[in-house]
Each structure stands twice: as C-alpha cells, then as structure tokens.
Structure 1
C-alpha cells in the first residue's frame, strides 16, 4: 500500500488504475484488498482521514446474530481482533475475555480496529490509498463512468482518476449521485412494494411472550440458530398510515467512555450547554453505561437527535459537519448533565463522574469519533430491489424467497430507528420498526448492486433496497461480505474484458460458494465451513434445492427427495432462468414424505440418465464419483448428493 501525501499532488494530476473504490468503510477496505490480492491495481479514495468507517468510530461490536464464517476477509479481520488481544494481553486476560470469543458480537476498541484495517491495507502493494478526498465531477459517457475528479477537503487540490471499473463503498453514495445514478431517500409508501411496515409507522412494545406467539411463523423464527431477543413490537393500526415520507432513521455519535483513571479525560462542558435539553434522555445507569469492550471502555448508543439527521443525506460536507457537531455537543452535553446537574440524583452523578473520554481514542479529534453513525442515507435504484418480503417467509416455503444470483445472506432483524419525534398514545417515536422474532435470513441479489443505467459501477453499500428492507442489510458484517463479492465480480469482468453488468453471474455465485462465502443461511452449517459439502450446499441453496433453513447434509438421502432434486437438476439444465422459489416448493413437499434411503449407485444411475442428454455438461458420472471419493455401494448422504449435483451441473470448460 502507498498513501498519497496531498502536498505532493499538483492540481489536475491524473492517473490510470484498474479499479477505483470510493469509501474506506469496512466494506471499502475489503473490496480494495480482495481486488488487489487478485492482481488489480486499486485506488482506494476516502472522504475521511481514518480508514474503517464505523468499526473504527465507536461501533464497538460486530452487529451480527450469526457466529459462523461469512466471507474470507470478514473472517480474517474478525480473527485478527482476537489475535491482537490474545498476543498483547494473553489468552487468560480480561482484555481477551472482553472481546467475546465464541460469541457473534465480537467486541473491540476503535483504535485497535483502525490499526488492524491499516495493517490489512499495508500488506497490499497493489493498493494506493488517498485519504480526505471527495468526488467533485464525474465524466460519464452513456452507460460508463470514464473518469472522476476528486478534491481534497482541506487543501483544495484536485486529481482525476481514469479507470474501467468503479465501486462506491461510501456510506453516502456521493460518487453514485454525481454519476447521475437514480436513488431513494426516506421511506416509500406501503403501496409501492406492499410492505406492511413501510411509510409512516407507529409501534408499541408488547408483553413478552405475546399471547399469539405460537403460530408456525413464530416457531420457525425462534428455531433459527441465531441470537434471539425476547422482544416483540406491534404496529398501531390507524396511526400507521403507510404514507411515504422523506425522513431517514436517526443518527448518533457512537462515543466511547472509560473509567480507567490512567486513560481518562474529563467530560468538557459543551458551548451553549442548556440542561433542559437533556431531561428527556433520563439519568441512565452508570453501572451499565453502554456496550462493554476491552480495557474498561464502553460504547454509547445515545443520544439520538431524532429529526436532525435528514439534512446530512444530501448536504455538502459543510452541512454534514454541522449535523455532526450538533450530535457531538448533544453527546457531551448528556454526559455532562448526568455528571453535574442537580436534577440528577447525587448517587447517579457520582457514578457517572467515574467516566471520561479515553485518551487513546480519537486523540486528534478531542477524543470523539471522526464519523457520525449515518444509519441510512441514499439507496440507489438498482435492477432489483431488496424489500421487506426478502426477509420474510415465502408464502409456500419455510424460508425467505430464493435468488439464483445471491452474493450474501442477511440475518439481522428488519429494523429502523425512529425517523421523526412524533408519538401517538403509547407508541415509540414515529418510524421506529423492530421486527425481532419476525425476520428471516434473506439472500441479496447481485442485481441490487447494479445501477439501472450504468454498467461499470457497483454500489454494494448503498445498494438497491426499500427503507424497510434496508434494516437487515445495513450492518458491517453484511456489507463486508457483499463488498468482497463485488470485488470478485470486478475481477471476473477484468479477466473477460467486459462490464460488471455483463458478467456470468452463475460463475460468480459458484466462485463465492467455492471460497465459502455465506450466500445461503442454514441452521446447521455454522460449525462446518471447511466441510467438503459446504460449497455445494451454499450454491444449491440459491438454486431451489432447499425449502427450509435446515440443510441436513449428514443425513441420508431419501428416494422422494432424490427424485425431486434430480427433477430440479433436469429443469435447471434445460432452463437456467427457472424460479428457484417455485422449485423449492416441490422440494419441500418431497422432504415431508417418508421414504427409503438410497445408495450412491442408485443415484448414479438416475444422474447418468439426465446428464447423457446434455453433452455440454460434465457427464462422466463415474469419474466424478471417484474424484469426490464417494463409495457407490454406501447409502448416499444429502451432503454428497449436493456435491455430485454441484459438480455435474457445472458447465464444461471450453
């Protein structure tokens, strides 16, 4: 990695590279690193001075409900967190224990996360990193971005980059907007995608467990091998009109505090402090001030200035800085209020006085995060839209709708923080949606990354989704997976000298499966990422071979299910554009039929009959059996059946 020194740049300097990645978010970093490792010359441009996005800016935790592998670079980065604390403090240290090893929600310090992102970049000689630059002008010719001129935020110098491929991994999608990519801001009406939770909504929390929480959907949700929350919210009828609205969900600073006396800076009194501004936020609990992390630090997720966030979305950087400063003042003001205001009980004030800002976090920014948690900004209009329905049960399946071009899986619950401060009766603030125990893991279509009328730009962060659908996508582990997949799409395009919009998506999905990306969620695969059946199960999960969230790869294949899978294979070979969700309905029916176990030999015979009609496919069934080390005489497992179909359905190399 090399880092541009702005002082060395001349106005109008230009450079040619293979790929430009805009945004040093966690997704932007892994996108650049993956492309560089595959041999591309990459320019990583960031509007900020520090890499790592929110993971380096106080998020403090991996927001995921899933503890398994997701994608190579996400897994590598997550493991590097554990390695850092293990090596520096020891396996038996409180610091290592505070990272939550073995639990989905890995914890870390912001400065450590930034260090690890920098190290990830520094190991790649094919990456040039330019910090503090923003796009100023896009030269677009018909369906292609030709070049982009960037301006330094402080020095007012410019440089122009030319590249055949572009990826916008920023939180704000500024490059996409300058390229005239259509986008959405705010909330669609309920009628646009027929989403029950769209538009203006009011919810209230119900008692746990809800009295009607024992139906099929409820049981399937509670059976998911994910972190489950004992919470339940309901829409308030009448008040929830579903009308469209331009407000996005609330932001806040993910500030960090510490009670380590040797690393503590007193909370300053903000300019124009007015105590009455903070009474609505309450006194808090100094014994549980926020998310815990190593070295006696805690991450805050409040206050949220509901209603002050929307000007950030399409504002220039000066307007955005004003929004950021309002949130900084509010965060410091709330802490100061809890430590000093007479309205706060003395014992609580004393508890809060033990905390200060950490000296070793954000030292060049008065120990406050560099970036605001902009949970939602623009969302591009792509060639497919991820909606609430993509994270709900398909009406005829025991899983969400299936996409043959899935490049990543969602698992977080559909949620939105409040969008406006309005309330009715016993409601939460307007716009809040928390669909815990109502959300199901979904699949993200590659087409959601593709703008409608641009062929060489991918947008894997502000991808194409509805406001409600956005709730299950907007997490860093999901973005890191999708952004790494986007890099591999660019690599394929470069190898074939075509545009990312025109790649062989099936080839991409197979490559992701082979590299053990999580592109299909199952309940029973988390501990087996290196199993020989894992790539096959992942791929077939995008093709309609499973009607539930249970892959059951080690169980015996039954005759009814074998016949159903082979009918699906036959249809797939005949017409690759089949509906996978429709196909999975037949599979689900077969899974519910008791049937005799079948041998590998019987499966061979059925496979041969199908594949003999397709000379363009690998039809040497016997050799594939030998290659996969499957004994013809033994009972066939579902995992081995998946391996066979995966291998034999792959188009022959030309």
Structure 2
C-alpha cells in the first residue's frame, strides 16, 4: 500500500534542505539541541507510558510526545471499564496500575465502601483518578519527559544500515506555539492508536480487512455472524473497511453530579426519528442497560455512581456510526477532526433526542432523563471525553502477523499452541463491533463477530516492523483485521508496551539493532518485572514459583501439565462469570497446582525437554533422592538452568 504521507514528501525535503544546509547552526544548535534522547515514544497511551517506565528504570532518557493535552490515551479519555476476561492474565505494569487504583479507593473511602467494591480490585477507576495515578507513575522517573499538545507531522531518516531503515528524529508541532520540534533519538517506539510515526517513517501497513483466502481465517472479510454461526451471504471478500468507532461517555445517575446534555450544534431531529419507531415497537427494554443487548447504551458502572457508556453490539439502536470512519486511519488532521466532530455531534444528538423529543415514549424518556454527563470529569472539555475510541486504524506489518489461526487450539484440547518467543499474553474474545450497517440481516451489523478462545501468547515479531533497525510498535501492531480484534485491549497494549520498553533497553545497553535483541533476554526482564508470557492460572507475580513458571512456560513445560488432562476437556464450560460481571474465573486446565505430588509421567516429560544429557541425568538423580511436588521440581529445573547460564 502506498504511504499517503508521501504526498507531503516534497515539502519535507525542502524543509530539511533549508534546515541543514542553508542554516545548519540553527538546525543543530537551536531548539533541537536539548532534544536528544535514548528513546523517543510517540503517544502517551498507557502502552507508551509502560514502554517509557520500563526503559527509564534502567537509566535511559525518554521523551513521550502526545498530541492531546492530557496523557493516558483512552484510559483517561472515557474507556474506564477495561476489557479483559480473567484477572489471571494481568501482570507487570498494568497490575502495578491496578494496585495503585485499589489503594487509592481503599485509602480515600475505606475497605467497606461501595467505591472500593466498585473498583473491582483496581480495574475500574474514574478518569480523573486514572490520570492522577498515571502522573504519579511517570513522576517517579525524572528521566522521562512528556510533551503534550505536540502533534507528529513527519520523521527524519538516517542512512540505512545493512538494508534496514533508520529513524533519526521525530518531527512534531507544538500546538500552543505553532513551532516545530525535532526529537532526535536512538530508538523509537510508536505507541499511537493510529500508527502515525511508523507510517511517517515509511513502514508497510494494512488498513481494512483481509480476504478469507489470505490467511484462511473464518471471520475474515465480508461477514454476517450471529449466535456463534457464520450466516449465508458471508463472502469473505476483503476491503478497506475498519471496525466502528464511538465515544465512551462518562455519565452518572446522581443528580448532584450531572451536567445536562443540551441540544448540540448541527442537530437534525429527523436523523433520530427512526429511534422512536424502534422504541414504540418494544424492541428496547431500557435505554441505559448494563448487561443484555436489548438496550441502547451499555452503562457499565464505576465508583461514585458513574458509568462508562459504550456501544452495544447488534443492539436495536447503535451508538456507533457504522461506515463513517473509513477515511480516519489514513486521513490528514483535518479529515480526522471532521470525523471526530461528526461522532461527537451524533452521540450528543442521540442522547438529547431520547431525553427530550415528543415522539419518544414517556417510559424511555423519563429513564433517559435520569442520566447526565459527570460534571467532575473532563472539566476542560465540557465534561465530554477528549478521545474518540479508535478500535482499529493502521496495522503496521512486522516480522510476524498475528491472525485468527494464532488462537487455534491443539487437537481437541482447550490449549492454544505454544509460542516460544512470546512477549505477552492475551485473554479476550476475537471481537468486532461491525464495520457497516447490515444489509441482508437488518438486526446484524456486517462484519460483527465475537468468539472467545483460550488464553493465548503473543509473539515477539508483532512489535518489530519489517525493515527497521530502531523502530518498535506497541499498539498498531502487526496483525490481520481478525487477529487485531483480540489484541486491541488496553491491558494487552500495555503488556506490549512493557515489552517494547524492555526491548529498547536491551538494544540501547548493547548498542545493537532491534533485530539483534535476543527474545530470551527480553523474556527474562519481563519476568523479573512481573510481566507474563504464559498463562498459568494459579501462579501470580507474588508467588515464589512465578519466574520459574514463566521461564519454563515459554519452553513448553506448562503445556505438558495442561495436556495431561486433554481427555477431560471436551464439553467443559470455559466461561464462568464472576458475580454477573463480564469478567470470568480463571480459564480451566491452565493451573500448575505446585503443591501436588510430582507424577512420574510429568517428570519424564519435563526431563525430555532438557537440552543436555548431563542435565537430564542430574535431574534424575536428584528426583530419586528427593520426592518432590510439581512446583519444587519446576523450581529445581529453573534454578539449575539459570545457574548453568551464569
């Protein structure tokens, strides 16, 4: 695909010529002199901040450049009810954030408070609380500099090294002073939702849907999907369409903390009249609803009687604007601004109509009037969230492309195939809110699908763009449209951000290109920092077995444990909700059970995985003399391997 930013390449070449040839002193010794960093990160998403924190803790100088006035991306911009399935999948920097959130609500409101309960172990926080915690996390590292209100507009390239591209600097505009800032760096990370830095640097990327033929993905291309089945009319043809966007409103039913939604500029009543027909037909049980899909707005509750209000997949009335975002990923800033404004006007007009229009039945109107924007959130933007929920934009093609096939299970088991180069795990559905209005099936959005696989590993290659020596990507990662739908969650993006930060650290420490960084060294650092590369449902970061389980988990030792019960798996219920929430108890058949006696069959499998005869013999002798539990033997193997490495 042609890089659209090349249309500005002529202007960029002239700019660089003027800077470096006509006025070299100003270009080198002016404002840019202080902007030399070890690591330059585009995007103050939580993924970008996780990358910064994990590089900065090893002493590297880091700058994060962010277009918006506040840090945090979607997590401070409306998306507060965070998507994942089981708590056992969360670790590392994201788990650190959760602990801080939980402590905040504990300290402020007490252990028996509703606020403490509603934070669900630190996974749900009001946006202003998340912003405060993010600032505190960054403030712990004085070697991290954050530039907000700075918009990227190009990348300066250095001479290629061994046929690979090298980024020299990221160029951005200070939106307050309207001046250019050049950020020189050794390593660059693109943590934007759009993949802008990588695109400016000339990286290969995809937008839209692959055909079913390209990767053999059942959910690829044109699709009609309902109740677990692919319906007639699903051709599987690829196109340029991307998953629908919407704002995540923060609303409240507390009258003391409400801002009433007024009639928005550009409001056209006729656009919303079809909603009245749907309501009169009884297809909607209530306007704001927490669980079922026969509502209009998904109101997922947060502390202090607030709700993260989101779109409901295949609801009778949709909050998203299906088909209105196709030009966003590759659009210039003016194009994106118009799309963002259109989405804002749409949702404000929609709420205003339901709350006020004479055609809306009183039952629904009165219910809707009980809600308003939370007046203590997003104060600088009239209580409206500053970020549009970009579910998918560009996908930067890397050394590995994550697809639907990467969540396929082994045989008849509930275990996904091993990825020895895993740098993170995912635990969520392959999930798309649709790409266009339904045509064959009026109640089903075209392109919608939802499928919950077992927890899966994410390989190193998805964060390494093809053909670059000093660029990593942590959000717009390398995946197909279907594969990306299972990666597009803030906990997963944050885990990938942590991995990019540690990869950058190793490249800087050793003065090598990204391609030469050893994934095993990345994994070791991840494990030391309590990040997870293998899903082990009963071993968390505070366990004495954690590093051993993670280290040997990417080497297949845990698969040996799980697959011993393969004949018990068919027909097993895999999703068991926790207290009626969308979150579930740990996925079955993924436990180590470290205190269980070590079975001979398992001991033999583990010893077969050892690299050397000497090591196997040593373990056999040790086992004969010391009857062990699973955990103790796993720890012994780990300690022996690590001591030999030293």
Shorter-chain TM-score: what band? 0.7 to 0.9
Q: Which residue of 2 aligns with 1:181?
A: 203
Deviation at 1:394, TM superposition (A): 2.8
**Residues of 1 paired with 2:378 and 2:245: CA distance?**
19
Q: Which moved more, 1:91-100 or 1:296-305?
A: 91-100
1:490 aligns with 2:500: no
- Following superposition, the deviation at residue 640 of structure 1 comes to 2.1
How many angstroms apart in 2 are the aligned matches of 1:381 and 1:172? 13
Q: Does 1:44 align with 2:85?
A: no
Task: Return closer, same or farther for 1:125/1:632 CA change in 2, 3 Å cut-off.
Answer: farther
| Alpha-carbon spacing, 1:86–1:407, altered in 2? closer, same or farther (3 Å) | same
How much does 1:267 deviate? 0.6
Alignment partners' CA distance in 2, 1:129 and 1:609: 51
Whole-Å Cα distance in 2 between the matches of residues 85 and 398 of structure 1?
Answer: 37
1:99 aligns with 2:119: yes
In the TM superposition, what is the alpha-carbon distance from 1:278 to its structure 2 partner?
2.7
Displacement over 3 Å in runs of 4+: 9-14, 279-284, 286-289, 395-398, 604-607, 631-634, 650-654
Q: Deviations over 1:419-451 (max 9, x none)?
A: 011331366110001114xx1211111111111
TM-score, normalised via structure 2 length? 0.83
User: Which of 527, 533, 543 does residue 555 from structure 2 map onto?
Assistant: 543
Matched, 1:158 2:172: no
Question: Could you tell me which residue of structure 2 aligns to residue 235 of structure 1?
Answer: 230
- Return the alpha-carbon distance in structure 1 between the equivalents of residues 537 and 89 of structure 2: 13
Unpaired stretches in structure 1, ≥5 consecutive residues: 1-8, 206-232, 575-603, 611-620, 623-630
Match of 1:301 in 2: 310
What residue in structure 2 maps to residue 82 of structure 1? 102
Q: CA deviation at 1:260?
A: 2.3
1:107-163 Cα shifts (integer Å, max 9, x gaps)? 221111112112211222111110121222212232211112211235321111111
Distance 1:354 1:35 in 2: 46
| Aligned partner of residue 546 in structure 1, secondary structure | helix
Does structure 2 conserve the Cα–Cα contact (< 8 Å) formed by 1:251 and 1:304? Answer: yes
Asked if structure 2 preserves the Cα contact closer than 8 Å seen for 1:24 and 1:44, the reply is yes
- Give 1:390 deviation, angstroms: 1.2
Pick closer, same or farther for the CA change 1:280–1:30 going to 2, 3 Å.
farther
Alpha-carbon contact 2:88-2:538 (below 8 Å) kept: no
SS at match of 1:469: helix
User: Is 1:13–1:158's contact at 8 Å kept on the other side of the alignment?
Assistant: no
Q: Which residue of 2 aligns with 1:608?
A: 618
Residue 347 (structure 1) aligns with: 363
User: Which residue does the alignment assign to 1:258?
Assistant: 252
> Any idea what SS the aligned residue of 2:436 has?
coil
Q: Of 116, 122, 126, which aligns to 1:109?
A: 126
Distance (whole Å) between structure 2 residues aligned to residue 609 and residue 108 of structure 1: 48
Partner of residue 643, structure 1 = 635
1:237-292 Cα offsets, whole Å, 9 max, x none, are 4x111111111100000011122222221111012322332345555625636111
**Corresponding pairs, count:** 562
Shift of the 253–558 alpha-carbon distance from structure 1 to 2, 3 Å rule, reads: same
1:102-501 equivalences under 5 Å are: 106-140=123-157, 141-142=159-160, 143-205=165-227, 233-237=228-232, 239-280=233-274, 285-286=286-287, 288=289, 290-302=299-311, 303-395=319-411, 398-425=414-441, 428-436=444-452, 439-501=453-515
For residues 277 and 204 of structure 1, what CA distance do their matches in structure 2 show? 27
Residues of 1 paired with 2:274 and 2:451: CA distance?
25
Offset of 1:308 from its aligned partner? 0.6
Note the C-alpha offset of 1:192. 1.0
- Quick one: structure 1 residues 33 and 513, their matched pair in 2 at CA, closer, same or farther if it must change by over 3 Å? closer
> 1:396, CA displacement in angstroms?
7.1
Q: How much has 1:609 moved relative to structure 2?
A: 7.9
Mapped contact 1:256–1:298 kept (Cα < 8 A): yes
**Aligned partner of residue 168 in structure 2, secondary structure:** strand
Contact 1:60 1:291 in 2 (8 A): no
> Matched residues in 2 for 1:638 and 1:441: separation?
22
CA contact (8 A) 1:513 1:538 kept: yes
RMSD between aligned residues? 2.3
Q: Deviations over 1:574-629 (max 9, x none)?
A: 9xxxxxxxxxxxxxxxxxxxxxxxxxxxxx9844289xxxxxxxxxx98xxxxxxx
Match of 1:553 among 590, 594, 598: 594
User: What secondary structure does 1:386 align onto?
Assistant: coil
Quote the offset at 1:174 in angstroms. 0.3
CA distance in structure 2 between the aligned counterparts of 1:201 and 1:287, rounded to whole angstroms: 28
**Aligned pair in 2 of structure 1 residues 418, 69: CA closer, same or farther (>3 Å)?**
closer
Q: Write the distance in 1 (CA, Å) between the matches of 2:428 and 2:362.
A: 39
* Pair 125,250 (structure 1): closer, same or farther in 2 beyond 3 Å: same
1:533 and 2:574 matched: no
How far residue 397 of structure 1 moved from its aligned partner, in angstroms, is: 5.4
Q: State whether structure 2 residue 87 is matched by structure 1 residue 67.
A: yes
Partners of 2:210 and 2:239 within 8 A in 1: yes
Is the contact between residue 98 and residue 121 of structure 2 (CA under 8 Å) also seen in structure 1?
no
Change (3 A) 1:234 1:299: same
Q: Say whether the 8 Å CA contact 2:373–2:383 is kept in structure 1.
A: yes
Is the 1:69–1:75 contact (alpha carbons within 8 Å) kept by the matching residues of 2? Answer: no
Residue pair 2:195, 2:394 contacting (<8 A) in 1 also: yes
Residues of 2 paired with 1:155 and 1:313: CA distance? 26
Q: Is this contact kept in 2: 1:312–1:319, CA < 8 A?
A: yes
Is this contact kept in 1: 2:534–2:550, CA < 8 A? yes
Aligned match of 1:27 in 47, 50, 55? 47
CA contact (8 A) 2:93 2:531 kept: no
Unaligned runs of 5+ in 2: 1-28, 290-296, 312-318, 563-589
Separation (CA, whole Å) in 2 of partners of 1:632 and 1:240: 59
